[in-house]
Amino acid sequence: MSPMWWQTGTIYQIYPRSFQDSNGDGIGDLEGIRQRLDYLAWLGVDAIWISPVYPSPMHDFGYDVTDYCGIDPIFGSLESFDRLIEEAHQKQLKIILDFVPNHTSIEHPWFKASRRSRADPKRDWYIWRDAAPDGGPPNNWISNFGGSTWAWDAGSGQYYYHAYLAEQPDLNWRTPDVRAAMHEVLRFWLRRGVDGFRVDVIWHLMKDAAFRDNPRNPDWTTDAPEIDRLLQTYSTDQPEVHEVIAGMRLVLEEFDGQVLIGEIYLPVERLVTYYGTNLMGAHLPFNFQLLNAAWTAPHIAELIVRYEGALPQGGWPNWVLSNHDRPRIAARVGPAQARVAAMLLLTLRGTPTLYYGDELGIGHVEIAPDRIRDPWAKREPGLGVGRDPSRTPMQWDASAFAGFSTHEPWLPLTPDYEARNVAVMSKDKTSILCLIRSLLHYRRGHAPLSQGGWHLLSRESDILAYERRNGDDRIVVVLNFTADPQAWSGPLSTKARIALSTYGDRRGDFVGPAVSLRPNEGLLIEQA
């Protein structure tokens, strides 16, 4: 069977507020994305996942939805969406939407009805509970953004549950009408031509039926976010969730088997259960292990081996290096290792997800206190949990506001944006942008990388080496995780040649029996 596009292709995540502004309000929009489709085709990605663009009061920047079947005027309209999807498809680019089924906005008409009275037909669409005997919240659960997960509604005299902000009440997925309504939402977008969904916090959808208290986390320290004070034993990852996901999957199967991606932060052994019974769960349960991994060759080798070993038969792997919720890769490992990381991401087995701006090597962007926008950063200041540094505008050229907008952008640019932008870096063959573009095109043209097997060759203390093989075609990847020169002797043929170095040179060089690596160098080697 030939592989699906979402297996061989690369996904590119766009945070729509920050990609391209088309109307001069300092906020990115759908028309802006449309204008940049040629860039994405040039870069060599296959699909774009767009973070939420639905109508929203933006308490959590779109992850608080008031209408699942609309587009917020900040981002455009259904017409601009249709135009985007049509042009993307003309350019062979797929569009993946962000589906946010765990919670709505507090302003969603469903919630407004639900809170009106205990007798309202929509009361059970959300999670309402009586106060504890002392008048306090029904249990000890903690919101992901700090504080109790329960908000008191004086009007109807009960608490409602919110895993995130109080402005984001959780839907009750035990209510059949909720499932039916949300399935209709999926069909609405599938009929409009979307190629799949990334499902927000999919492991949260079902909570313990008895709402038992979560146990304490013995490892919590006061410098960690409050959510980590408890283990999420009863609030997430409940067995019933798999049936809910299978229900979504069946809706997709009514169409052409569009891709279902699940956002899941769980240990590998739990994560892989989200492929579902008979693989009828998520096609791609997002694999976030690289987001927090200690950046050493033995550790990365170990996690790849464990992940490969944990995958169910037929389950397709995937890898994520950065996203809009975590520090960017270059902020975590520095600019030199960010290139090694890019080679790792784009040569592992499974679908890679690349985060916009990482191709420019954007690192940590300092956000002045008066420019902080992230609600989590505002609620838990001083812990470094703020997500604004990873959401700054894409940098297109050296003009004012980096070609992102004609107006001061909603978040700052990097101080070095005049050099760190697409126009400048696309002309520099040694830039990380050209490296990532070369990797993407190489991956697309070489079946060992896009669909071949993975085999560990070395996990010496400083070097990670592995082989990708498809039939007789073999490609070896050697990554130097240190800032020192290294030598590596591996099972290379005498005719083995370098196809790509993270430095952008050495192409076509024979490597000989011992490969020499410069500091922070990664090499892609073709076995002959």
Q: Which does residue 29 touch among Ca ion, ligand NOJ, none (CB within 5 to 8 A, set by kind)?
A: Ca ion
| Contacting Ca ion within 29-68 (CB under 5 A) | 29
Q: Which does residue 21 touch among Ca ion, ligand NOJ, none (CB within 5 to 8 A, set by kind)?
A: Ca ion
173-182: long-range contacts, CB 8 A cutoff, minimum separation 24:
173/101, 173/205, 173/206, 173/244, 174/206, 174/209, 174/240, 175/124, 175/125, 177/124, 177/125, 178/125, 179/244, 179/247, 181/110, 182/68, 182/101, 182/248
Give the CB-side neighbour count of residue 221, counting CA atoms within 13 A.
Answer: 2
Angstrom distance (rounded) from CA 161 to CA 172: 9
Assigned token pair, 260: 């279902």
Q: Which does residue 27 touch among Ca ion, ligand NOJ, none (CB within 5 to 8 A, set by kind)?
A: Ca ion
Give the chain's radius of gyration (CA, Å). Answer: 23
Q: Does 21 bind Ca ion (CB under 5 A)?
A: yes
Q: Does 301 bind Ca ion (CB under 5 A)?
A: no
Question: Among the candidate windows 22-30, 76-84, 221-229, 477-485, which touches Ca ion by CB under 5 A?
Answer: 22-30
Angstrom distance (rounded) from CA 113 to CA 107: 10
- Decide: residue 369, CB within 10 A, 0-12 exposed, 13-18 middle, 19+ buried: exposed
Q: How far is the CB of 521 from ligand NOJ (least distance, A)?
A: 33
Q: How far is the CB of 24 from Ca ion (least distance, A)?
A: 7
Residues engaged in binding ligand NOJ (CB under 6 A): 60, 63, 100, 164, 200-201, 263, 324-325
- Name the residue nearer to Ca ion (CB basis): 61 or 488: 61
Q: Does 25 bind Ca ion (CB under 5 A)?
A: yes
- Name the residue nearer to ligand NOJ (CB basis): 53 or 100: 100
Question: Among the candidate windows 16-24, 57-65, 455-463, 508-516, which touches Ca ion by CB under 5 A?
Answer: 16-24
Concerning whether 254 is annotated as a catalytic residue, the answer is: yes
Give the CB-side neighbour count of residue 469, counting CA atoms within 13 A.
Answer: 10
- Number of residue whose CB is nearest ligand NOJ: 63
Concerning whether 31 is annotated as a catalytic residue, the answer is: no
Q: What is the DSSP string of 243-306?
A: HHHHHHHHHHHTTT--EEEE---S-HHHHGGGG-GGG-S-SEE---HHHH----HHHHHHHHHH
- Name the residue nearer to ligand NOJ (CB basis): 63 or 160: 63
- Name the residue nearer to Ca ion (CB basis): 19 or 68: 19
- Name the residue nearer to ligand NOJ (CB basis): 100 or 290: 100
Residue ranges that bind Ca ion, judged by CB under 5 A: 21, 23, 25, 27, 29
Give catalytic residue positions: 200, 254
